[in-house]
Amino acid sequence: MSLLVIGSVAFDAIETPFGKTDKIIGGAATYISMAASYFADRINLVSVVGGDFPVADINRMENMGVNTKGLQIKDGEKSFFWSGRYHNDMNSRDTLVTELNVLGYFDPVIPEEYQNCDYLMLGNLSPDVQLKVMERIHNRPKLVAMDTMNFWMDVALDDLKKAMKKVDVLIINDEEARQLSGEYSLVKASRVIRDMGPRYLIIKKGEHGALLFYEENVYFAPALPLEDVFDPTGAGDTFAGGFVGYLASQDRVDFEHMKRGVIFGSAMASFCVEKFGTERLQDLQMDEILHRINAFIDLTQVDISLTS
């Protein structure tokens, strides 16, 4: 099934305790598309870059099965640029530079051939843009998933709430869930947030795994204990891409498939953090992906038969 992906395509410059990069490609939609490309048949990208964005990187995405017809290229202008430095524990970072550039006035255009998309992933962007995308698609997709961040809760809460009413799955981290709900307990937070619209809620906890809430059910997927996290940039977007890409590949929307999607997302995120930026996502083999997914399953496998 086809997957429509909206989000930033950008430059990042990253500094971690293991080293630093010059400008490399990044952006939520880049990570989402690359991760999803291993599963979904067709990925249709909607985003915007400046004329400074390397054509080689656009071609690489095309070669990975990402349709870039919806990637607007603004000649003579600059792509979105973010630069950050991670602390030693890799769980916190300082933003050094944020230049919105072409993303500051992004008006998403949906090419005609993208209409009738089956699955829609709204990567982290202004809720106003996320709303515009949903308005400009003629038929509602089978599934709409959305990411957001605390910044939008601070500056655009009304639009965010409008967007949330229209989505099936919200994917956020624990800190964002607490801010959005005003509840510290994630169980309580999950109820408040699902009352705002999304039937399914995924709360990412970084190295501590992810929780999936649906009706009275909760599913927990661990993160794989890793030797080292080399660069966490894009891990959350990669999770979302693996998750929604898996669902699109199976074309099933129910709790059981969502659980499997969370494992696929976690597995893809565990690759992402092994190298800088998108490097590790560019040339994965399906064998190693399945091997990694089996490692996730083994991690929580236990044989207890109980009768109560």
Other Cβ atoms less than 10 A from the Cβ of 19: the count is: 10
Contact call for residue 115 and its own copies (CB under 8 A): no
**Residue 8 CB partners (closer than 8 Å, separation 6+):** 27, 28, 29, 30, 47, 80, 103, 123, 124, 125
Q: Tokens 């690359």 belong to which residue? A: 34
CB of 187 vs its own copies, minimal distance in Å: 5
The secondary element (H helix, E strand) that includes residue 60 is helix 55-63
User: What does DSSP say about strands 2-6 and 42-50: parallel, antiparallel, or unpaired?
Assistant: parallel
- Which of 263, 269, 272, 281 binds its own copies (CB under 8 A)? It is 263
Residue 93's DSSP bridge partners are: 86
Among the listed ranges 65-73, 104-112, 154-162, 186-194, the one in contact with its own copies (CB under 8 A) is 186-194
Q: Footprint of its own copies on residues 278-307 (CB under 8 A)? A: 286-287, 290-291, 293-294, 297, 299-304, 306-307
Q: Between 103 and 202, name the residue whose CB sits nearer to its own copies.
A: 202
Task: Note whether 157 binds its own copies by CB under 8 A.
Answer: no
Q: Which residue has the tokens 């991670």?
A: 86
Place of tokens 């050094």: 96
DSSP type of residue 38: T
CB closer to its own copies out of 76 and 225 = 225
Binding span for its own copies by CB under 8 A among 8-16, 27-35, 36-44, 184-192: 184-192
- The C-alpha atoms of residue 243 and residue 291 are separated, in whole angstroms, by 17
Binding mask 77-106 for its own copies (x = CB under 8 A): -----------xx-----------------
The single residue among 209, 232, 247, 251 that binds its own copies, judged by CB under 8 A, is 209
Read off the tokens for 185.
Answer: 């307990």
Task: Please report how close the Cβ of residue 185 comes to its own copies at its closest, in angstroms.
Answer: 6
Q: Do the strands 93-99 and 119-122 form a parallel or antiparallel pair, or are they unpaired?
A: unpaired
Is the Cβ–Cβ distance between 266 and 285 less than 8 Å? no
Reduce the DSSP state of residue 144 to 3 states and report it: strand
Query: Is 260 an interacting residue with respect to its own copies (CB under 8 A)?
Result: yes
What is the nearest approach in angstroms of its own copies to the Cβ of residue 260? Answer: 5
Whether the Cβ atoms of residue 28 and residue 54 lie closer than 8 Å to each other: no
Residues 187-206 that bind its own copies (CB under 8 A): 187-188, 205
Q: Does 220 bind its own copies (CB under 8 A)?
A: yes
By beta-carbon proximity to its own copies, the closer residue of 209 and 277 is 209
Q: How far is the CB of 129 from its own copies (least distance, A)?
A: 32
User: Could you list the residues that contact its own copies (CB under 8 A)?
Assistant: 88-89, 184-188, 205, 208-209, 211, 218-222, 225-229, 256, 259-260, 263, 286-287, 290-291, 293-294, 297, 299-304, 306-308
